[in-house]
Amino acid sequence: MAQPQVFAYIDDSSLTSQDALELLGNKSQELGLSTDASSVYEALLQREEQGTTAMVSNVSLPHAQCSCVGEPAVVVVRFEHPVSWNTKSDTPSDVSVAICLLMPKGEEGMKHLKNLSKIAAFLSDEDNLECLVKEENVNQLRSMIADALM
């Protein structure tokens, strides 16, 4: 299985989960990962409606399959300030980092699940979480996630 490309950004100024998902859609098109930012944004929103992707320790794992995505990719964004991430409960989660997995529509479901599982395993380690939130070097941040996907 080919490893997804990984891209990372630090100190994004998004304030809400919708802002963050829109940013991820826009980045997908800017980076040439998709042909339609709006479709990626809508796919990410639809996934959030099924259940929040906010996870442990201020991390969110938004993910979607979309026909406008050419190859599997991961876009990591660390926010300048915690983002209010909508959840099904009355209390939103504060998210410091979003790790977004994008897959082409029709891509074998097991590849998508394996990549999600690898990222979740990475996030289960407290040292990894601390590094993810504190790392100042964008290349190191990208490398952490790329290594987790190997």
Number of domains in the chain: 1
Say what the pLDDT of residue 108 is. Answer: 63
Burial group, residue 42, by CB count within 10 angstroms (0-12, 13-18, 19+): middle
Say what the pLDDT of residue 89 is. Answer: 64
Residue 121 pLDDT more than 90?
yes
Residue 1 pLDDT more than 60?
no
pTM of the model: 0.92
Summarize pLDDT for 78-103 with one digit per residue, the tens. Answer: 999 999 887 666 677 899 999 999 99
Residue 50 sits in which domain range?
5-148
Say what the pLDDT of residue 92 is. Answer: 74
Return the CATH number at 129. 3.40.930.10
Do 67 and 103 touch, CB atoms closer than 8 A?
A: no
Relative to beta strand 73-85, strand 5-12 is parallel
- Between CA 76 and CA 6 the distance in angstroms is 7
Summarize pLDDT for 23-82 with one digit per residue, the tens. Answer: 999 999 999 999 999 999 999 999 998 888 988 678 999 999 999 999 999 999 999 999
The pLDDT-based confidence of 106 (bands split at 50, 70, 90) is: confident
Say what the pLDDT of residue 109 is. Answer: 62
